[in-house]
Amino acid sequence: MSDRSRTQAFDDPESVALAVGAGGLLAFVLGWLLGSGVLRGLGFVAALAGGGLYAREKLAERGEKIEATESQIRAELDELDPVARAQVLKGLADPEG
């Protein structure tokens, strides 16, 4: 594997989060096998940090999707006449349709 492909893999924040979490988990298991409390503690903290980074990245992606979809829906609604817009909004507000 070339150096270029390794650096490209870590350009993605999701990959970095997974690597931190996996490294922490590995350190935790190694600390457990060796009986090292310090290594276990560091591994546990790193695994939690990786999980937190991963969750933050996924929530950010979700927020971006929501914002993009909201903008698209608003643009579509703005193109409708007032009566059609009211009918669409009424249909969306009434779950039984």
Residue 12 has what pLDDT?
82
Per-position DSSP letters for 16-69, written without gaps between them = HHHHHHHHHHHHHHHHHHHT-HHHHHHHHHHHHHHHHHHHHHHHHHHHHHHHHH
Amino acid letter, residue 76: E
pLDDT in tens, 47-95: 999 999 999 999 999 999 999 999 999 999 999 999 999 998 888 888 7
Structure-token pair, residue 9: 């893999």
How many C-beta atoms surround the C-beta of residue 58 within 10 A?
12
pTM: 0.67
The pLDDT of residue 6? 57
Whether the predicted pLDDT of 10 surpasses 80? no
